[in-house]
Chain A
Amino acid sequence: MFTFTLRRLFFAIPTLLVISFVIFALLDLAPNDPTGDLPLTIPPEVREQIRASLGLDQPFFFRYLAWLHQFFINEPLNILESLTGWQFGDGERMRVLSWATRSPVVDLIVQRLPQTLWVVGLAYLFGILIAIPIGVISAYKQYSVFDQVGTFISMVGYSVPTFFTGVLLVVIFSSYLQWFPSVYDTNLRVTDFSSFVAQVKQMVLPVAVLSLYNASQIARFVRASMLDNLHQDYVRTARAKGVKEKAVLLVHVLRNSLIPVVTVIALGVPTIFSGAIITEQIFRVNGLGQLLITAVQGADIPLVQTLTFIFAVLIVLFNLIADVLYGILDPRIRYD
């Protein structure tokens, strides 16, 4: 298991390098001019200076290597310094700078991360907590009314896009009933009970939209996986031994059924960060997704490159975690 993990980690490095190159090249070689939005009255030589200040006068490979150096060496060192207080060198390192704000990209991401984690992460958690009981009951009482309704709702939740459910909930609960605000206010500080209530209120709608979507996806997996296990021989053996039905279901079957579900949950974690772009846009949550959209619209290439690459790192990382978890949870799986 340990060697398998090491081997996978080792293989992740070339994968990430190739992905970083693809992302960098795609953005860099695209037919667009970063100074194209500036006024036409700027004389050509000044325009050249602006391009030089953005680092665009250097050849492609040099810029790629510089970006790699900044992202993989300078930024981690900076984070380490701020965490531990140690000093490496003189602390004057080139950082990945956003073109639009001229501030380090990593600082922007750190600013936006809490909102995304709160709203989207909470929705993922709720989704899992709703999905598992629904999936278990649907599978145990297959073809019952509960199963029929549950399967239908999860099919609807899985098919209806979040931008429609989101807008629909805004129409009903913000515009018509006026129970919850439709815009997420990031400046709200939780200091007393009333501000806490306001914070909960503004989180209800985005969390509900994403929870429904996540829950319906996971519930389908839980149900299918439970159905696979319910008809296995070991279940009959357990019942024949006189194990109580509750124990058969919740100890024997559920534990075995959750093995593939856990990997699916792990594989879905990167979407917490990148997949919620649309929901953040509907409810004006200024998280990572919204940062990406503004960066894309403003053609802020370094910010887009770094964010996209971070999403790619998360996908590779959680693929690895899912594989390793599968091996740990299921002793029947042998990787070597």
Chain B
Amino acid sequence: MTDATATSSAPVTASTPARSAFADIWKQFRAHKGGVAGLVVFTFIVLAVYVGPYIHRVAPNQINIRDKNQWPSLAHPFGTDNLGKDMLAQVLAGGRISLAVGITAMLLALFLGTLVGVLSGYFRRLDGPLMRLTDLFLALPLLPLLLVILLLFRDTLRSAFGPETGIFILIVVVIGITSWMHTARIVRGDVLAVKSQEFVLAAKSSGMREYRIVLRHILPNVLSSIMVSATLGIASAIITESSLSFLGLGFPSDFPTWGRLLFDGANFLQLTPSRVLWPGLAISMTVLSVNYIGDAIRDALDPRAVKR
């Protein structure tokens, strides 16, 4: 039975390859030059950060005091820091953490935002309280609060989970729970629009359970706005993490992220300006490419923006 449907549906999709929703979006996306460039740059950064260490085989934390404060050379393409650590290896290692923080924090924020948005859009009784909660979170001064939370809970979490995992969990959780509000608002609006359509009524009258309606009918229809939030969420999470590290309250020096490398390098500006340049450039390129990808996805999904 399943085989029969699979074989019968295959020729249909093959005969009209360009008409599927995904192919349409991809076509729209490719028309956006900035988005394509962003995708290329972002893919390059991800590849460099994860594959790079297998090509450039220098340990990021290896101290070599004789080679300290060097300008870029063949052995150290990005130069070395004041302890003789290789900057290229550090930037690559820092990128892994920065990207991991950005993506995990974005996923957490996305989960919370979608949950709140769907609940308040679908269930009328929860709408008021949940939206007031969202307003409340939007009124909190986030950066000061993030700093304070980091300062106060850092030691506790470090002793509970170890110095690296502890600070990672803390930063991801803290960024996640302070950046879900915009997603929640957008998702709520979309859910309200989808909810009043006939197919939801049909599902209801056929006796479908509420949670199945939400999962099978509502969520797939609000997925597009969630995707735009996701891309923009990565960018803002990376920026927030680097700002916290730049203020000296994020990751420690022996477990550096791009923001932390910039912070440490800022004291050696006159001696080795390249120490600041590379991590800063890495952050900027990542955020810029992700923002362009987000713009392109938004344009591709926006029916009004088609073919101007």
Contacts and interface: CB of A to CB of B under 8 A. Distances in A.
Contacts of A71: none
A155 to B, nearest CB: 6
Interface string B131-147: 00001101111011101
A308 B148 CA distance: 10
A175 interface: yes
A281 to B, nearest CB: 6
B291 interface: yes
Interface stretch (A125-133, A188-196, A312-320): A312-320
* Chain B interface helix/strand/loop/mixed: helix
The interface size bin for chain A is 35 or more
B59 interface: no
Contacts of A278: 243, 246-247
A164 B144 contact: no
Nearest to B291: A159
Contact of A26 (B145, B249, B288): B145
Interface residues of B, number: 43
A196 B132 CA distance: 49
A15 B147 CA distance: 22
A281 B152 contact: no
Contact of B249 (A15, A171, A282, A296): A296
B279 to A, nearest CB: 8
A99 interface: no
Nearest to A309: B141
B140 A312 contact: yes
B107 to A, nearest CB: 21
Contacts of B140: 19, 22-23, 312, 315
A311 B148 CA distance: 14
Contacts, number: 123
A155 B139 contact: no
A222 interface: no
Interface in B255-308: 259, 262, 266, 269-270, 273, 276-277, 280-281, 283-284, 287-288, 291-292, 295
Interface in A108-156: 155-156
Nearest to A18: B136
A304 B246 CA distance: 19
Contact of A275 (B136, B143, B270): B143
A164 B284 contact: yes
B257 to A, nearest CB: 13
B36 to A, nearest CB: 15
Interface in A207-254: none
Nearest to A156: B288
B139 A296 contact: no
B188 to A, nearest CB: 18
Nearest to A281: B247
A118 B132 CA distance: 35
Given A26-B148, A30-B153, A32-B152, A308 B239 contact: no
A32 B153 CA distance: 8
B155 interface: yes
A163 interface: yes
A277 B288 contact: no
A161 B141 contact: no
Contact of B269 (A30, A171, A307, A315): A171
A270 B242 CA distance: 22
A264 interface: no
B151 A315 contact: no
A208 B104 CA distance: 33
A27 interface: yes
A315 B141 contact: yes
B145 A23 contact: yes
B262 A304 contact: no
A160 B136 CA distance: 29
A138 B228 CA distance: 24
A170 B269 contact: yes
Contacts of A32: 151-152, 155
Given A161-B239, A167-B266, A274-B141, A293 B147 contact: yes
A161 B280 CA distance: 8
Interface string A271-301: 0001101100110000000001100110100
A168 interface: yes
9 contacts: A30-B152, A159-B288, A159-B291, A161-B283, A171-B276, A277-B247, A281-B246, A297-B248, A316-B139
Given A15-B135, A30-B149, A308-B141, 7 more contacts: A22-B140, A32-B155, A156-B288, A171-B277, A277-B143, A308-B145, A312-B141
